Chains A and B, each alone.
Chain A
C-alpha cells in the first residue's frame, strides 16, 4: 500500500492540482478566479503528460552514435513534450479569449462577481 502511494507520488500531486482547479472553477464567485482555476486544471494535465514520459538516466533523442552508442533504451520519448507544447499554446489562446470576454462583461456590467452579475442581469 505504501509503495503504491509513494511509487506514484507525482501522480498524487497532479490529482490534487486537478481537484484544486475544479474547485476554483466551481466554487469561486469571481470570474477571474474561475479562470485561474481553469489554468491550474490545464497545467495539471500538461504535468500528467510530462511526468508520464519521464525516464531515469535517459538523454535527448538525437542519434549521433556518440551519446549512449545509439542504444534506443537510453533515449526519452520526445512526443509527449511536443504534444504538450501544442497544448500550452492552446491553453494560452483559451486564456486570451477568456480575458477578452471578461473585458466585455466588465464593460457591460462593471463587475466580475458572479452573484452581483446575476443580480444586475435581472
Chain B
C-alpha cells in the first residue's frame, strides 16, 4: 500500500518538517532537534524499505494528481534512484546524529532556522534523485542549492563571501541547465524523461539537441564541481560549519553527479553521447585533469578541511571518469564510488569537526603523536577512512577504483589507468602525512621524555564519536560485501548496455 506512494512521501517528510520546525521552534526550542532527527530516521527507514521493494517488485512510478506522464509530473523510483536515495539518507542520518551537540555550539541560538534549512536541503536532494521530470529537476536543484548557500554562509567569518561566490557560480550552472532543457523542450515538446528518451532518437541529428546536451553537461558539471568548474568548492567547504560541510560534501555534489548520470545514460542514451559525439571523452579528460589537480592541491594544504575539499574535487573526478568511460564497468565504478565516497567523506569531515571541537584546530602542521593518545577512536576512524581513500584492498575505496580500472582497460585507455594509479599514490602521500605525524614517534616526544605518556584520553562525547565509528566500520563492511552490492548495481544499468 504505502510502497506506491513512497516516491512522493520521502521528499514530503522533509518538506513538512522544514515547515514544522520553525513553528515548533517559536513554542519550544527543545522540540526542534527531535523532529529533525525523526524525519531523517523515518525517511531512511522508508528509503531502505523502498530499495528492497523496488528490487523485488520493480520500479514504482508515481503520477502527481493522477495525470499520466507526458502531461503530468512523474516521480520514478527505480533501482538506481532508490539506491542513491537510500545512500544519502543514511549518510545524512549519521551526520545529524553527530550534529546533536556541535550545532548548538557552532551556531548559538540559531539552531531552529539551521535545522529548517537542513530539512530543505534534504528535500531538494531527495527530489533531485526521485523526480522523472526535467523542469522539476531544475526546481529541486535550486531548492537544494539555495539551502546549501544558506548553510555555508552561517560558518566562519569568511564564509559569507565564499557562499556568495558559490551562489553566483551555482546560479550560472542552474541557468545553463534551464537553457539546455529549453532547447530540448522546443525540439521535442516534452519534459518527461522517459518520454524524451523515446523521442530523442528521432531528432538527435539536429544541432539544437547537441547544444542542449553541452549546456546540460556544463550546468550540472558546475553543480558537481568537475575540474574546470570547481572554483567555488574549496572555500565553501573550508569555512562552512562542521555539520554543513559534512552534509554538503558527501552528498551534495554526488546528487548532481547522479543527475548527470541519469540524463546521459537514461535520457540521451550511451550511444548518442559516447559514439556519435565525443562528449564522453571530453568528460573523461576533464575528470582525469581534476583527479590529478585535486590530489596535487590537497598535498599542498595545511588545513585538514581544506585538504579534504580538494580531495573531494579529485574524488568527483573518479565519478566523472566512470561516466566518461561509458561502459558497464565504468558505470559500476561510478555508482559504487558514489556510495563509497559518501561514507568516506562524511567520516573524514566529521573527524575534522571532532578535532576542531577537542583540539581547537584541524591544522595538519600542529598535529603530533599526542593525538593518538587523546583521541584514540577518532583517529582510528580517520585511519580507516584514509586507507579507504587511498584504496587498500579490504576497504570500500579499493573496489570502486578496481571497477574504474577495469573500465579503462576495456576501452584500452591506458592514460586513464595511469591516472587512477598515480592518483592513488598521491592520495597516499597526503593522508600518510597526517598518519605519520599522529602515529610515528615525533621529535617533540624525544625532548619531553616520558611526559607524553601521561597524556590522558580526551575523547569526544558519544553522540559525536558513534557516527564516526559506525561510518568507518561501514567502510569495512561495504568493502567485504562489495560483490553483493555490485550484483545489485548491474540491475540498475540502462537497458541495452
Contact = CB atoms under 8 A, between A and B. Distances in A.
A97 B146 contact: yes
Nearest to B148: A97
A121 B171 contact: no
B168 A101 contact: no
Contacts of B150: 97, 100
Contact of A93 (B135, B142, B161, B182): B142
A59 B455 CA distance: 81
B57 to A, nearest CB: 33
A25 B232 CA distance: 14
A75 B321 CA distance: 46
B179 interface: yes
Interface size class of B (residues with CB under 8 A): 20 to 34
Interface stretch (B14-22, B42-50, B152-160, B359-367): B152-160
Contacts of A17: none
Nearest to B134: A83
Provide the main secondary structure of the chain A interface.
helix
A48 B142 CA distance: 19
B285 to A, nearest CB: 24
Contacts of B149: 97, 101
B185 interface: yes
A117 interface: yes
Contact of B167 (A41, A97, A117): A97
B164 A94 contact: no
Contacts of B142: 90, 93-94
Given A25-B172, A34-B168, A101-B149, A80 B179 contact: no
A74 interface: no
B179 A48 contact: yes
A41 B178 contact: no
A121 B160 CA distance: 12
B185 A101 contact: no
A41 B150 CA distance: 22
A76 to B, nearest CB: 14
B168 A80 contact: no
Interface string A85-122: 01100100110011011101100110000000100010
B139 interface: yes
Given A45-B175, A83-B135, A86-B135, A101 B153 contact: yes
Contacts of B167: 94, 97-98, 101
A102 B135 contact: no
Q: Which of A25, A87, A100 has most B Cβ within 10 Å?
A: A87
B135 A98 contact: no
Contacts of A117: 161
B175 A80 contact: no
Interface in A42-96: 42, 45, 48-49, 52, 80, 83, 86-87, 90, 93-94
Contacts of A94: 142, 146, 167, 171
Contacts of B146: 93-94, 97
25 contacts: A25-B168, A34-B168, A35-B168, A38-B171, A41-B172, A41-B175, A42-B171, A45-B182, A48-B179, A48-B182, A80-B185, A90-B138, A94-B167, A97-B149, A100-B153, A101-B149, A101-B163, A101-B164, A102-B164, A104-B153, A104-B160, A105-B160, A108-B160, A121-B158, A121-B161
Q: What 6 A-B pairs have minimum CB-CB distances, sorted nearest first?
A: A104-B160, A105-B160, A90-B142, A101-B164, A101-B153, A52-B186
Interface of A: 22, 25, 31, 34-35, 38, 41-42, 45, 48-49, 52, 80, 83, 86-87, 90, 93-94, 97-98, 100-102, 104-105, 108-109, 117, 121
